[in-house]
Chains A and B, each alone.
Chain A
């Protein structure tokens, strides 16, 4: 038996003994499971716990450790084949809604893994995952450090913070706030949460709210396309004084204030609302701002 085989067998034994029958330890029970995987393994985790950490590491294996509410059902983990798996599912189902907010879980995955995570009201933190990431929560929060290639994060009232610049990202909340630092193809949408886009660079970006505030102060990539829309939330845009961008702003009834250039906002259709248009250079980006009755303010930096 080779060393690799011994490792696989050992991890399988650990997984079988601890993950599938996680024994109670007082009011909570421990979880420990490991599994050899491919570098781009797809991992699906459904976890009713209070906190989940997902960490990308330089090993071709997945490890789950933690403490969960007593009586939780623990299962899954990639079957019983000894070879490294390319896909696996793992779930922790708490006996009650309250118990589902207890305990914590840390899952280490290959950096290039694709991770799907669904939980209730957990504090979810993800770091150093460069593959795909799909996180779905109701409450709690989602914080992502690093730049996954693809990132989808959805919550109801949980806040979402993306501290990186993914190639592709879609973030949606109902009332939760969204903080992001830009990226290549980015979309963020919320009903009443606030969106704060700052500290990075935007390429193709769309931000939308119904009533939430939108603050935008990202740098613009060459030829960037930024679209910002709200029904009634205020839009605050901060641009560099020399930023080469073509601005097209319009409201139905809201005001437009321009402290970025000398261009004067004009009255809108039939005297209602306002518009503002500025010209850019040959390779300028475009910034489209739309609001029903929220105020649009442009400032220079």
Chain B
């Protein structure tokens, strides 16, 4: 089913990169690789990435200054609010989600760099922080900037894969992103008026995390689904 014009999808290339040589894989994919230098080079890049990833440590501790900053921010709030347990886990999750999202996006972008093309919709969903002067406290503005970078990277990847997805799927994703964006904007506006409201901070970061997670999942959908 795959021609030299259609190219192998990212999932198919990953499948090939993951498969041991003893495992039979789709013959048409192998045939395509022999005729398409672009896909062959991307498979080589993925295989190299896989080998490098295998050499990475299984756990990576966040920089000490990150946790110091988070703890410093949380300390006064813990005294003021009984909800600190929830809040603490939120910030930990936010940092972890950010780290994972940025790493994942970077890997995906490297693998697909050869197929980059102009994005038509990225501008439409550009994060609020990138277009307006932030009125949030420095720590929240910084966090939002990190979220915005993750969103932009994932959005770019999604736009590249848009043509390979079913129209109904794209509509579902876009509709959900609009809902997430509206919630983020609403929480952000409230946070500008009341920046020390711990409940608002939790909801603001949760809204961003759900949006980033939705984008990540959308970028991982199989072609034609």
B175 touches A93 (CB 8 A): no
Q: Is B73 an interface residue (CB 8 A)?
A: no
Given contacts A100-B225, A156-B169, contact A191 B203 (CB under 8 A): no
A76 touches B25 (CB 8 A): yes
Q: Is B35 an interface residue (CB 8 A)?
A: no
A191 touches B180 (CB 8 A): yes
B166 touches A81 (CB 8 A): no
Q: Is A141 an interface residue (CB 8 A)?
A: no
Please report which residues of chain B, range 170-208, place their CB below 8 angstroms from some CB of chain A when the two chains form the complex.
172-173, 175-176, 179-180, 183, 186-187, 190, 194, 197, 199-200, 202-203, 206-207
**Cα distance A273–B197 when bound, in Å?**
11
For residue A248, give the distance in angstroms from its CB to the closest CB of chain B: 6
For A210, the chain B residues whose CB sits under 8 A away are 179-180, 183, 207, 210
**Cα distance A93–B15 when bound, in Å?**
13
Chain B residues proximal to chain A, CB less than 8 Å: 1, 11, 15, 19-20, 22-28, 82-83, 85-86, 166, 168-169, 172-173, 175-176, 179-180, 183, 186-187, 190, 194, 197, 199-200, 202-203, 206-207, 210, 213-214, 217-218, 220-222, 224-225
A-B pairs, 9 with minimum CB distance: A120-B225, A174-B176, A231-B183, A191-B176, A97-B224, A138-B225, A250-B199, A157-B172, A288-B86
- Out of B25, B166, B176, B187, which one reaches A138, CB within 8 Å? B166
Interface residue count on the A side (C-beta < 8 Å) = 57
Q: Is A11 an interface residue (CB 8 A)?
A: no
For residue A152, give the distance in angstroms from its CB to the closest CB of chain B: 11
For residue A160, give the distance in angstroms from its CB to the closest CB of chain B: 13
Given contacts A252-B199, A286-B85, A290-B199, contact A175 B172 (CB under 8 A): yes
Show 29 residue pairs from A and B whose CB-CB distance is below 8 angstroms, ordered by the A residue. Answer: A20-B24, A46-B15, A76-B23, A79-B20, A91-B26, A97-B224, A97-B225, A120-B166, A120-B225, A138-B172, A138-B221, A139-B168, A157-B172, A172-B217, A174-B214, A175-B172, A175-B175, A191-B176, A191-B180, A208-B206, A227-B86, A248-B82, A250-B83, A273-B199, A277-B82, A288-B83, A292-B183, A292-B200, A293-B186
A174 touches B173 (CB 8 A): yes
B172 touches A79 (CB 8 A): no
Chain A residues proximal to chain B, CB less than 8 Å: 20, 46, 48, 73, 75-81, 89, 91, 93-97, 100, 118-121, 136, 138-139, 154, 156-157, 172, 174-175, 189, 191-192, 208, 210-211, 227, 229, 231-232, 248, 250-253, 269-270, 273, 277, 286, 288, 290-293
- Out of B20, B166, B203, B222, which one reaches A231, CB within 8 Å? B203
**Cα distance A198–B88 when bound, in Å?**
28
**Cα distance A231–B24 when bound, in Å?**
48
A192 touches B176 (CB 8 A): yes
For A20, the chain B residues whose CB sits under 8 A away are 24
For A138, the chain B residues whose CB sits under 8 A away are 166, 169, 172, 221, 225
A229 touches B203 (CB 8 A): yes
For A79, the chain B residues whose CB sits under 8 A away are 20, 22-24
Given contacts A138-B225, A191-B180, contact A292 B186 (CB under 8 A): yes
For residue B177, give the distance in angstroms from its CB to the closest CB of chain A: 8
B194 touches A269 (CB 8 A): yes
For A73, the chain B residues whose CB sits under 8 A away are 1, 26, 28
